[in-house]
Amino acid sequence: MQSVPNFLKNVVAGALAASAMAVCAQTSVMDFKQVYQAALEQDANIRASRAAADSGRERLPQARAGLLPQVSANAGRNFNDLNSTSPNILGALTTTNDKYFSDNRAVQLRQPLMNMQRWLQFEQAKSMVAESEASLDRDLQNLVVRVAGAYFEYLMADEQLELVLAQKKLYTSLVDAAKKGLAAGSGTRTDIDDAQARLDMASAQELEARQNQDQTRRQLEVLINQPVSSVAKLNVSALKLVGPEPANLDAWTLKAEQNSPEMKAMQARLDAARREVSKSQAGHLPTLDAVAQWSNSGSENITRINSRYENKSIGLQLNVPLFSGGYVNSTIRQAVAEQTRAEETLEALRRDLGVRVHKEFRGVTEGVLRVRALEQAVRSAEQMMQSTQMSLKAGSRTQLDVLNAQQQYTMALRDLAQARFVYLMSKVKLASLAGDDAVVSVDAVNASLVGVAK
């Protein structure tokens, strides 16, 4: 029988090689960049965010309209049936009836000359538009993280299934070998029971691994709104284990505070809140408008029947607020409270951002060390398997020792695969928190995949 370590290595290598060949041969295989581009078009959250940004951009022309001339026109024509009762010369009440048409037409041009509230509203709209743009950038950055999470979870599920299938195949061979050894008188019933128990456990783990694989595939399909047959695997030889650049946590924290879309959105909201305070205070100020009007009317009332009047006027209209029941003061207090809330929310976000940057920075720096340590652990576990196999042949080790060594090797392979995905995920998250270009992050991940042109 083929040795345990070589057998397991050949099974795993064969599965990975088959996956790599499938990536190169099948046009339906999607790499990370293709998945991200599909998510950009199909993800419902991104579509909603784009619509929200489009809606937010309209605040600026709406606010600008308050500073531009307002032209209005109105016209009307009425039929009047008027009964008038009044005493005559003799003092007796008499009723007369008049039926006539009246009409009016008017055009008015109003240009604000001095209106501080509307000007501050225009300035506030700029901050609101900036918040909408920053919120869209934040969601686009988050999309990279969500796509990476779904993609790596799917790859990890595939890795787990491959390892379980390799274990199952190995345990099946060991059961057969143990049975042959017992029949030949060189084995024990315990060897068969140990191998069979592990084979049964591997069968149960296979069901769980397949369920997990289906779930992660479904998660990826929902994200891009299309079926996923397979995705490009991780190319270990192309994976560059490098720490964050610069290798300084404070520099990354400062960069995140300056460039993070979350911070920009919250800062824009704070600016809008400050404008709201000034706008509320401007409620005490007078307004001045230039007004030009043309009107033409006929038979305006009973004393002007069959008479027409045309009037042209131009002038200034001053409005001075005197008392509004305390409404303006109340809006000022409310705006100040909202400004305070925005300031504290910004500070809370800044602190939380620092914690998240610290976490992902450590995830990258320590991820490099963890991956390298686990690579050494895999080599050590492999060597232990070979030594245990040789000791078994020499009679100093049992079949149970071989199974335990093989299980430890498999767990090391699993932990190594998971550590690589965690490392890549930390890099993506750190770049997202720092506000780096999403395309650069996507290309960096894509360069680490099998079958992707460099």
pLDDT at 356: 95
Residue 351: both structure tokens together: 């602190």
Q: Is the dihedral of CA 194, 198, 199, 204 positive or negative?
A: positive
Cβ atoms of 435 and 261 closer than 8 Å: yes
Mean per-residue pLDDT over the chain, rounded: 88
Residue 240's alpha-carbon distances to 6, 90, 243, 375, in angstroms, are 27, 115, 9, 14
Band the pLDDT of 451: cuts 50, 70, 90. low
More confident residue, 266 or 9: 266
pLDDT tens across 310-336, in order? 899 999 999 999 988 999 999 999 999
Q: Is 3 helix (H, G, I), strand (E, B) or coil?
A: coil
pLDDT at 57: 95
What percent of the chain has pLDDT above 70?
93
pLDDT tens across 329-355, in order? 999 999 999 999 999 999 999 999 999
Q: Is 322 helix (H, G, I), strand (E, B) or coil?
A: coil
Residue 126's alpha-carbon distances to 61, 105, 123, 276, 435, in angstroms, are 10, 38, 5, 12, 21
Closest CA to 312 of 157, 116, 109, 26: 109
* 431: exposed, middle or buried (Cβ count in 10 Å: 0-12, 13-18, 19+): buried
Cβ atoms of 415 and 378 closer than 8 Å: no
pLDDT at 25: 39
Q: CA–CA separation, 384 vs 406, rounded Å?
A: 9
> In sequence order, which residues have a C-beta less than 8 Å from that of residue 304 and are 6 or more positions away?
none
What average pLDDT does range 65-88 have in this prediction? 90
Question: Would you give the DSSP letter of residue 187?
Answer: S
Distance of CA 134 to the CA centre of its chain: 12
Q: Is 2 helix (H, G, I), strand (E, B) or coil?
A: coil
pLDDT at 17: 42
Given the candidates 1.20.1600.10, 3.40.50.300, 1.10.10.10, 3.40.50.150, the CATH classification of the domain at 4-67+115-285+326-446 is: 1.20.1600.10
* pLDDT for residue 290 is more than 70: yes
Laid out side by side, the sheet with 287-298 consists of 70-87, 93-114, 287-298, 308-319
The dihedrals phi and psi of 398, each to the nearest 5 degrees, come to -105, 170
Residue 336's alpha-carbon distances to 265, 280, 331, 340, 342, in angstroms, are 19, 9, 9, 6, 10
Distance of CA 334 to the CA centre of its chain: 31
Closest CA to 4 of 177, 187, 180: 177
Residue 392: both structure tokens together: 């078994």
The amino acid at residue 381 is: A
Q: 55-59, 178-182, 208-212, 434-438: which has the minimum mean pLDDT?
A: 178-182
Question: Would you give the DSSP letter of residue 281?
Answer: H
The dihedrals phi and psi of 280, each to the nearest 5 degrees, come to -65, -40
* pLDDT for residue 15 is more than 50: no
Closest CA to 441 of 141, 152, 220, 38: 141
Closest CA to 228 of 219, 237, 239: 219
pLDDT tens across 97-126, in order? 888 888 999 999 999 999 999 999 999 999
